[in-house]
């Protein structure tokens, strides 16, 4: 038997036991609208409780936990947002993650609760968690408001990551970028901001394009980015010498990916490129942690997976691409570039 003095440090295990409690603290505070309320100025727990209809002492305990997590500041009995909370946790911030946080709480949390069954059966958990047969997004985003908030949450991630993706490779040889499934246009905007010779098209479903148009129109490169509605699985792809897929390939099965890559390869001129923005696994699939957690997330909620650079080489070369390069960034999205010979 191991003596207490020689026992391994349990810090990792203890941290993981507590990890979901930290997540739920932030989720609850966002769901209750606390960060939005505090944008008007510092308030006491009693004032906040009266405003949102909560039990004052219980709310105070939540607020104190948010202080400990670095989400709030406390001066005497008054609470205030940190700059970080104001930027990412309030619903009027252009950098907000709130839509993605609410999705993570209402959908991701339930799907991950069945991770063991996903491992045993090798399939997503839509049916088990919600009784749904069709794609999860079509159920969660049936209203314009729900879809908009999720997209704005992803836009917040995009504002953080897309400038790094745009800088990953030298894109000066290209003249026209078509971002397929480009959502709010954050990648197209970042690329055009970095490369003055580049013009871009944001190509996404008609339900997405009104928000994309709004965001693109307010950007510094609005004269070089246009928004076009369409389905990249069915409709003709807009002409371009550089296509982009940002957080698209990890959603789909190998068969579906092969079909999409074949369409892109066929549409590209010789020498054209494909820029992929995804988190890239280490070659041995044992890191980095963010990518591995996202890989399990894909298992529970999609048909897809995360991939290593050798994995991307396999699928891209199968579609006819060559010169497949990878670039690690210091943000939660990496970049892969492939060329049509």
Query: Cβ atoms within 10 A of the Cβ of 166, count?
Result: 25
Q: Is 285 left (phi over 0), alpha (psi -120 to 50) or beta?
A: left
Instruction: Give the chain's domains with CATH numbers.
Output: 4-88 (1.10.10.10), 139-339 (3.40.50.150)
Residue 155's pLDDT band (cuts 50, 70, 90): very high
Mean pLDDT score, 288-317: 96
**Cis, peptide link before residue 150, omega less than 30° from 0:** no
Say how many residues make up the chain: 341
Give mean pLDDT, residues 127-139: 76
Query: Taking the model in full, what pTM does it have?
Result: 0.93
Q: Which of 36, 152, 39, 149 has its CA nearest to residue 94?
A: 152
Q: How confident is the model at residue 145 (pLDDT cuts 50, 70, 90)?
A: confident
Q: Among 114-123, 148-157, 205-214, where is mean pLDDT lowest? A: 148-157
Spatial contact of 275 and 330, defined as CB atoms under 8 Å apart:
no
Where in the sequence numbering do the catalytic residues fall?
Answer: 250
**Mean pLDDT for the stretch of residues 189-215:** 97
Tell me the average pLDDT of the chain.
95
Residues 6+ apart with CB under 8 A from 240: 176, 177, 178, 201, 267, 268, 272
Tell me the pLDDT tens digit for each residue of 260-286. 999 999 999 999 999 999 999 999 999
Span 31-76, pLDDT tens digits: 999 999 999 999 999 999 999 999 999 999 999 999 999 999 999 9
**Residues 215-236: what's their mean pLDDT?**
98
Residue with tokens 């936990």: 65
């Amino acid at each position: 038997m191991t003596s207490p003095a020689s026992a391994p440090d349990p810090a990792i295990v203890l941290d993981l036991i507590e990890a979901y409690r930290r997540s739920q603290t932030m989720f609850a505070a966002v769901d209750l609208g606390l960060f939005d309320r505090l944008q008007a100025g510092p308030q006491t727990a009693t004032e906040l409780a009266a405003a949102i209809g909560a039990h004052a002492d219980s709310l105070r305990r939540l607020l104190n936990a948010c202080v400990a997590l670095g989400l709030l500041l406390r001066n005497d009995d008054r609470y205030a947002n940190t700059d970080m909370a104001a930027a990412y946790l309030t619903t009027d911030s252009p950098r907000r993650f709130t839509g993605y946080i609410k999705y993570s709480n209402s959908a991701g949390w339930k799907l991950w609760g069945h991770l063991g069954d996903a491992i045993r059966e090798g399939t997503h958990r839509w049916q088990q968690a919600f009784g749904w047969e069709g794609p999860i997004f079509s159920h969660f985003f049936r209203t314009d408001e729900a879809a908009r908030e999720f997209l704005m949450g992803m836009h917040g991630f995009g504002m953080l990551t897309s400038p790094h993706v745009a800088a990953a490779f030298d894109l000066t040889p290209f003249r026209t970028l078509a971002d397929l499934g480009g959502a709010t246009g954050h990648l197209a905007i970042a690329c055009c901001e970095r490369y003055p010779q580049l013009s871009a098209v944001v190509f996404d479903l008609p339900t997405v394009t009104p928000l994309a148009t709004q965001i693109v129109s307010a950007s510094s490169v609005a004269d070089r980015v246009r928004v076009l509605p369409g389905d990249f699985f069915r409709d003709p792809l807009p002409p371009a010498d550089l296509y982009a897929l940002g957080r698209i390939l990890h959603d789909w099965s190998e068969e579906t990916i092969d079909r999409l890559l074949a369409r892109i390869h066929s549409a590209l001129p010789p020498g054209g490129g494909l820029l992929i923005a995804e988190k890239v696994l280490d070659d041995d699939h044992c890191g980095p942690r963010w990518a591995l957690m996202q890989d399990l997330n894909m298992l529970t909620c999609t048909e897809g997976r995360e991939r290593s650079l050798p994995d991307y080489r396999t699928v891209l070369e199968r579609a006819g691409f060559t010169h497949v390069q990878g670039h690690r960034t210091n943000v939660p999205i990496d970049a892969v570039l492939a060329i049509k010979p």
